[in-house]
Structure 1
Amino acid sequence: MVSPSSLTKLVFLACFVLFTFSDKLVAEESDKVQLYLYYESLCPGCQMFIVDDLVKFFDSDLETITDVKLVPFGNAKVSDNMTVTCQHGEEECKLNAFEACAIKILTKPKSQYTFIRCVENNTEHFQQECFQGFRDEKDVNDCYNSDLSKKLILENAKQTMSLKPKHVFVPWVTLNGKPLYDKLDDLVSQVCNTYKGKAPLPKQCNPSALSEKKTTSKLQFSYANGAIKY
């Protein structure tokens, strides 16, 4: 029979181990490079970046050192009565809200990205293309058709408009809160160099791999005061 004092020690030891293990998990998660993409759904450069370039972080081991967050709002405006006006029209507002709902409903970053990449690659027919075998269709539609979608967009608006320094155009990418401006042609290398955690670097960070993947397609940035080709 275990004595009360021994039982107390065992409980204390178990709590200590659990706390230490949990703390380690949180620390490892916080070590990841925070890659935030601020974008709008019908911006050509945003579409190209999501479809052709951001995929590198999900079809490789780069996601082990990178925490990717997608924030749909971009260069939209919010009026005093909380009406949202989007740079590329009402259809963009609808898609932004739809994607915000998908991000809310789908909890795993890879699932979020996979769905949004499909939408950005098929904006005119995404419901036919991206809903095939998509088990969360009802939840995403329910979110979109409720007040929750507007709430999510206003949250994204607040996050976007609170950026320091302020975003000038989209796609706007930050690493650990620092903007890359238009220097997106070497994104993988910049993420590899930014990572300071203890986990081994992915093979994509090897010099030989980086030399092969150094270019990004030329993007058409959409500026807050208009669209200018870069």
Structure 2
Amino acid sequence: MELNATRPDPVVPPVEISLYYESLCPGCRAFLTEQLFPTWTLLKDIMKVNLVPFGNAKELPEENSFSCQHGEPECYANMVEACVLYAASHAAFPVIYCMESSADVLKSAKPCLQLYAPFVKWQTIESCTRGELGHTLMHQNAMKTQALKPAHTHVPWITINGVRPSQSRAFALISHAEICLVWAFEI
């Protein structure tokens, strides 16, 4: 008889954490690197993370562009991260963690991609950011952010299984014990 004490029940869905953030926001970077990623590293079998790099940006349809709270570098970094999420899929979170935990998010993008998603060429990400795909991905992130109920008022903005808890509870929930409790209640 085999004891399967470490594997999650395949019938129980994972706890879904969605993070709406800005790539150059200090608070977003701290939350992603100090709380969310370490928790996911330990509990990835029972949690799913959705990253939505857009935050407080504004879509400017008449100019076919975006305006970001922390300027043009943030708009570009948001798009790079959106393209990484698209191209690297399962390896995207470690790439983005690597970028967000570095001193310079943009300068670290290529080395982080090469380290954690070597199957994705940097040229693929550059092509995405310069083309229609990058714009489409950012538009989709804008739509996801605008569809939040209640509407987001700041970043980082977190939902758990699609529901927005209070801000203090949201930060507290991204702990190992709380994720396990949320997951256990799904059984």
For the aligned pair, the TM-score class normalised by the smaller chain equals 0.7 to 0.9
In the TM superposition, what are the counterparts of 1:121-200 in structure 2 within 5 Å?
A: 121-122=101-102, 123-127=105-109, 129-133=111-115, 134-136=118-120, 137-183=122-168, 184-188=171-175, 189-195=177-183, 196-198=185-187
Distance 2:109 2:142 in 1: 25
The answer to whether the 8 A contact 1:172-1:180 is kept is: no
Question: Are the structure 2 counterparts of residues 41 and 190 from structure 1 closer, same or farther at C-alpha, using a change threshold of 3 Å?
Answer: same
Question: Are the structure 2 counterparts of residues 168 and 30 from structure 1 closer, same or farther at C-alpha, using a change threshold of 3 Å?
Answer: farther
CA offset at residue 144 of structure 1? 1.7
Distance 2:88 2:74 in 1: 21
- Alignment of 1:113 with 2:93, yes or no, is yes
Distance 2:151 2:17 in 1: 16
CA offset at residue 98 of structure 1? 0.3
CA offset at residue 175 of structure 1? 0.3
Structure 2 residue identity aligned to 1:187: I
- Alignment of 1:65 with 2:53, yes or no, is no
The answer to whether the 8 A contact 1:175-1:191 is kept is: no
The answer to whether the 8 A contact 1:28-1:197 is kept is: no
Distance 2:88 2:49 in 1: 14
SS in 1 for 2:92: helix
SS in 2 for 1:119: helix
- Per the normalisation by structure 2, the TM-score is 0.81
SS in 2 for 1:35: strand
Structure 2 residue identity aligned to 1:163: L
Distance 1:124 1:163 in 2: 28
Distance 1:132 1:165 in 2: 38
Q: What's 2:19 paired with?
A: 37
Distance 2:65 2:109 in 1: 25
Q: What's 1:14 paired with?
A: none
Question: Are the structure 2 counterparts of residues 159 and 124 from structure 1 closer, same or farther at C-alpha, using a change threshold of 3 Å?
Answer: closer
58, 66, 78: which is aligned to 1:96? 78
Q: CA RMSD in A?
A: 2.1
SS in 1 for 2:41: coil
Q: What's 2:55 paired with?
A: 74
- Per the normalisation by structure 1, the TM-score is 0.67
Identify unmatched segments of 5+ residues in structure 1: 1-26, 199-230
Structure 1 outlier segments of 4+, above 6 Å: none
Structure 1 residue identity aligned to 2:180: C
CA offset at residue 140 of structure 1? 1.9
